[in-house]
Amino acid sequence: MEEMIMFRMCELIAQEIIEKGGTTVSTSGIRPINGYAVALEGYEQKIPIEEFDSTVVDAYCKQNKIQLDILNTFLGGWVNKGVVYLDVVRVENGYFTAKSLAVQNHQQAFYDLLEETEIFI
């Protein structure tokens, strides 16, 4: 039963990534509305959009379950130039904390959830 619920959630996440261009969500369905999302190094997965579906999200969540179960850690997914990106992201409340975390994780940018904009470093 739990596996079916998780797969259904993966279907909704995949749909949201395609329809809205991206999402940030916990494996329990929580979607932060403010703060800064920073991708953690070593978890990025790139999928051509034509190969992307809920089974990809499901496999990614299973593969990264330990990291995704940590407090303030979420699945981040977005589309850019025909490629879907999946990442384990950490949501921080403070701008400078998020910027520092992004630099530590060798990221080019992080995401302002409230303003819905990328902040380039």
Mean pLDDT of 4-14: 81
Let me know: does 78 contact 87? Beta carbons within 8 Å.
no
Q: How wide is the angle at C-alpha 64 spanned by C-alphas 60 and 65, nearest 5°?
A: 110
Q: What is the pLDDT of residue 49?
A: 97
Q: What distance in Å separates the CA atoms of residue 100 and residue 83, rounded to the nearest whole number?
A: 27
Q: Which domain holds residue 110?
A: 2-120
Digit-coded pLDDT (tens) for 19-57: 999 999 998 889 999 999 999 999 999 999 999 999 999
Digit-coded pLDDT (tens) for 82-111: 999 999 999 999 999 999 999 999 999 999
Mean pLDDT of 110-121: 96
DSSP helix/strand/coil, 81: coil
Q: Looking at 15-60, which runs of residues are DSSP E strands? A: 22-25, 36-39, 45-48
DSSP helix/strand/coil, 57: helix
Stated pTM of the model: 0.92
Residue 2 or residue 116, greater confidence = 116
Structurally, the chain folds into a number of domains equal to 1
